[in-house]
Amino acid sequence: MKTVFAIACLATLSAAPVLAQAEAASTDPISNLAGDPVAAWNADRTIFVDAAGLDLDAFKWIARPVLVFADSPNDPQFVQQIELLAARAEELALRDVVVIFDTDPAGRSDTRLRLRPRGFMLALMGKDGAIKARKPSPWDVRELSRSIDKMPMRQQEMQDRRGVDQ
């Protein structure tokens, strides 16, 4: 099941009750994606995407995935990481970041099998699909932004944007 988390919902994360509420209410900001997760992310770049059933390569050359893994949605590090990302989601959106989470080791998502996390892990990937950083503890958006802004492709994007603005 592909699930999209809206930032407003994640700011006050209590993941298990939120997921239960989402299934009960069709107007909840969490919704099942029957279609394309890339299209959903393009429509709202501040959503968080569940890794279950997701083909990570769908975001190649489109977005920079930030992957957040934990063994449970109640893991304190996972909760802290999601709160940090949700608080400054607009800054991530400016850098073409898609936040993808996986809190179900038993689900064995393709993303989990590919990155092989143990417990909590945050991974930053480039638009080329290469892993740029792995962290065993939460990172704030400022640290992520600095790492992203040092990437050659991001440097080119900033240079191109400056040329358009002038």
Residue 39: give the domain boundaries: 3-165
Average pLDDT, the chain: 81
pLDDT band at 162 (very low <50, low <70, confident <90, very high): confident
> Structural domain tally of the chain?
1
- Position 166 scores a pLDDT of 54
Q: What is the CATH number of the domain that holds 86?
A: 3.40.30.10
Mean pLDDT across the stretch 125-146?
95
Kindly indicate the confidence band of residue 43, based on its pLDDT and cuts at 50, 70 and 90: very high
pLDDT in tens, 109-121: 999 999 999 999 9
Q: pTM for the complete prediction?
A: 0.77
pLDDT of the residue at 122: 97
For the chain, the three-class secondary structure string (H helix, E strand, C coil) is CCEEECHHHHCCCCHHHHHHHHHHCCCCCCEECCCCHHHHHHHCCCCEEECCCCCHHHHCCCCEEEEEECCCCCCHHHHHHHHHHHHCHHHHHHCCEEEEEECCHHHCCHHHHHHCCCCCEEEEECCCCCEEEEECCCCCHHHHHHHHHCCHHHHHHHHHHHHHHC
Work out the pLDDT band at 130, boundaries 50, 70, 90.
very high
